[in-house]
């Protein structure tokens, strides 16, 4: 466990946690003083001379013994109030520090994992379901709760030992009786649910991943689901996974609250038995009152401490799977993160790839991991600067894989992809900055038309002259002018409020706004009517200072290109000029 926490927390976070641990020590001291103060106050009123059987301080003894009963009561109350006030203020400040530390760790860990996933290869994302990645990021707060559960267990254990020390100093026999009475329920809660909670934690995690997967898929397929009338099937699947997840969470919450109720009952039982024991020893009620007060106050503070420890242990068992998950992510991928950082350093030192002459594929072959069949085999061709290239071929011939290789999303198993004799993978970041890409499935954010075309650019940095130009080329001008809010029109999630053709045109405008040297179009106008499609393609192909690579099944569009690559059986079978 310590090893996992050591890997998960960086040095700065460990320093924060160390500060929190040190800050908890004064709080424990104040808790101990506050518990002791009430019985001492009663002794000061009822029998002040008894205090000085334990304290040899003559001046203090003379001052207290010379006070009247009212003075002792009044001054004692002032001191007790000051002690509890100091504890309350310090406790508030400590809680702020604790929650602020938790907040910072959660933010830093979430950002770290999210950044790692964004920097990971395209291939990584094809092999991992988004719902799993989202759940991994969400697991951060659960892993942090485990770390702070351990911290709270240690803090409360120290306080319990302080309480035990006070009782041992005051009346060892009473302490032994109390510990014997409480040992049975505490042992039961520590042992009975051990395996159950771990299993429930694993079930809950799997169910949370399936819930996210169900939600993402059902909202993406909403048209199809409504068309075939499978709402009930989807609902039942969601209800089943949600029930499994919530059932585990509810069970843990129930188990967490139960100990306090049982311990309160045991407290009443123990106090009753101790009173009977003290009466059996022949003590008067007045003489036993300070001891009973100490016992009651100690148990009142003891019960929450035991409750926090038991809840912390339950959280540790239930969320241990999340902590292990975050540990595995950090541990297994730290080397990859270092490689990414080194690669970023290399990018800054490598010569920028400037596309001035041509793009060359030299004997490029590629196959996906765990796949026996090659996706592309021995691909050779040259694309000259500012040429217009059409790519055609039957479904499954490797067109999309070829584009993914050209974009640098995939790396060839064999062969090289070069730009002016420079391998694109020596400075992939520089190469990708020169490309505009319009995929088959265009995804838009739930924002305005302007924000989608100028994606990732702040409003004060938008070039409106360039924006108007790409709107004109993509054929969006009339559509935007007909909208009440013009460029500020909200298009909905993935363009749900606009037509497929308008969505594709926004995708084209978004790619052109980047001022690319190379524009890659993967069937970008399939949702447009024939006339509009030809007009937009003609405008794009008429841009002289732009290399265009166009995938299409439309012969009329392909004919407009300078050169055509025909793919079949994962290789180029024809290179027509």
Name the residue among 89, 107, 100 with its Cα closest to residue 19: 100
DSSP three-state, residue 538 = helix
The 10s digit of each residue's pLDDT in 269-326 is: 888 888 787 777 776 666 777 777 888 888 888 888 888 888 888 788 888 888 888 8
Extract the tokens encoding 324.
Answer: 């292990």
**What spatial distance separates the first Cα and last Cα of the chain, rounded to whole Å?**
65
Beta bridge partners of 422: 419
Question: For 457-485, what is the mean pLDDT?
Answer: 88
Mutual orientation of helices 285-349 and 130-170 as an angle, nearest 10°? 150
User: Does the pLDDT of residue 526 top 80, yes or no?
Assistant: no
CB of 315 within 8 A of CB of 149?
A: yes
Torsional sign, CA 21, 25, 30, 31: positive
Q: What is the pLDDT of residue 348?
A: 47
| Choice among 139-143, 156-160, 220-224, 495-499 with the minimum mean pLDDT | 220-224
Q: What is the pLDDT of residue 38?
A: 81
Q: Which residues contact 547 (CB under 8 A, 6 or more apart)?
A: 355, 359, 383, 384, 385, 386, 387, 388, 389, 517, 518, 519
CA separation for the pair 30, 316 (Å, rounded): 28
Strands 563-568 and 388-392 come out as: parallel
Q: Round the average pLDDT of the chain to a whole number and report it.
A: 82
Question: For 463-472, what is the mean pLDDT?
Answer: 90
pTM of the model: 0.79
Where would I find the H helices in 221-284? 222-228, 231-280
Question: For 122-149, what is the mean pLDDT?
Answer: 86
Q: What is the pLDDT of residue 56?
A: 61
Q: What is the 3-state secondary structure (H, E, C) of 159-184?
A: HHHHHHHHHHHHCHHHHHHHHHHHHH
CA separation for the pair 366, 368 (Å, rounded): 7
Residues in the chain: 577
Higher pLDDT, 149 or 525: 149
CA separation for the pair 37, 77 (Å, rounded): 10
User: Does the pLDDT of residue 239 top 80, yes or no?
Assistant: yes
CA separation for the pair 510, 446 (Å, rounded): 15
- Consecutive H or E run containing 392: strand 388-392
DSSP three-state, residue 446 = coil
Instruction: Indicate the Cα dihedral angle 271, 276, 278, 284, nearest 10°.
Output: 110
User: Does the pLDDT of residue 193 top 80, yes or no?
Assistant: no
Extract the tokens encoding 534.
Answer: 């030809």
CB of 309 within 8 A of CB of 186?
A: no
């Amino acid at each position: 466990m310590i090893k996992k926490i050591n890997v998960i927390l960086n040095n700065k976070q460990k320093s924060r946690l160390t500060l929190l641990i040190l800050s908890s020590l004064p709080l424990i001291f104040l808790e101990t003083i506050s518990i002791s103060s009430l019985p001492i106050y009663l002794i000061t009123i009822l029998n002040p001379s008894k205090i000085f059987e334990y304290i040899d301080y003559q001046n203090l003894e003379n001052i207290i013994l010379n006070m009247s009963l009212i003075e002792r009561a009044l001054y004692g109350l002032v001191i007790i109030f000051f002690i509890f006030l100091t504890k309350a203020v310090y406790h508030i400040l400590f809680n702020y520090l604790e929650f602020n530390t938790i907040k910072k760790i959660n933010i830093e860990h979430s950002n770290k994992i999210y950044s790692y996933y964004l920097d990971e290869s395209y291939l990584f994302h094809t092999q991992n379901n988004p719902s799993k990645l989202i759940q991994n990021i969400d697991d951060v707060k659960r892993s942090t709760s485990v770390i702070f559960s351990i911290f709270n267990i240690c803090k409360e254990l120290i306080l319990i030992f302080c309480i035990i020390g006070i009782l041992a100093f005051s009346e060892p026999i009473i302490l032994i009786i109390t510990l014997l009475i409480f040992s049975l329920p505490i042992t039961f809660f520590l042992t009975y649910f051990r395996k159950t909670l771990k299993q429930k934690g694993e079930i809950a995690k799997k169910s949370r991943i399936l819930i996210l997967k169900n939600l993402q898929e059902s909202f993406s397929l909403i048209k199809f689901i409504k068309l075939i009338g499978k709402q009930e099937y989807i609902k039942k699947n969601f209800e089943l996974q949600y029930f499994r997840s919530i059932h585990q969470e509810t069970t843990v919450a129930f188990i967490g609250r139960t100990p306090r109720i049982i311990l309160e009952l045991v407290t009443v039982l123990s106090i009753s038995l101790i009173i009977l024991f003290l009466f059996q020893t022949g003590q008067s009620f007045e003489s036993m009152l300070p001891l009973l007060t100490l016992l009651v106050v100690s148990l009142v503070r003891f019960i929450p401490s035991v409750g926090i420890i038991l809840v912390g242990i339950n959280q540790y068992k239930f969320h241990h799977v999340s902590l292990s998950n975050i540990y595995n992510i950090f541990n297994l991928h730290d080397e990859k993160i270092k490689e990414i950082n080194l690669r970023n350093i290399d990018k800054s030192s490598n010569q920028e790839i400037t596309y001035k002459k041509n793009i060359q594929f030299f004997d490029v072959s590629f196959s996906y991991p765990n796949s026996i069949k090659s996706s592309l085999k021995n691909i050779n061709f040259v694309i000259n600067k500012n040429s217009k290239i059409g790519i055609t071929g039957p479904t499954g011939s490797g067109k999309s894989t070829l584009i993914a290789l050209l974009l640098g999303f995939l790396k060839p198993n064999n062969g090289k992809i070069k730009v002016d004799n420079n391998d694109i993978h020596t400075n992939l970041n520089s190469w990708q900055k020169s490309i505009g890409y319009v995929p088959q499935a265009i995804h838009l954010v739930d924002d305005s038309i302007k924000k989608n075309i100028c994606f990732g650019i702040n409003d004060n940095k938008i070039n409106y002259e360039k924006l108007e130009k790409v709107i004109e080329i993509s054929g969006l001008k009339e559509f935007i002018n007909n909208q009440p809010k013009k460029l500020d029109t909200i298009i909905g999630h993935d363009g749900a409020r606009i037509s497929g053709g308008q969505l594709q045109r926004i995708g084209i405008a978004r790619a052109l706004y980047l001022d690319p040297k190379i524009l890659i179009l993967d069937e970008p106008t399939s949702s447009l009517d024939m006339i509009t499609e030809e007009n937009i393609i003609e405008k794009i192909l008429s841009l002289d200072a732009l290399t265009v690579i166009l995938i299409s099944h439309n012969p009329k569009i392909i004919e407009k290109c300078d050169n055509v690559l025909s793919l079949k059986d994962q290789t180029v079978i024809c290179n027509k000029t």
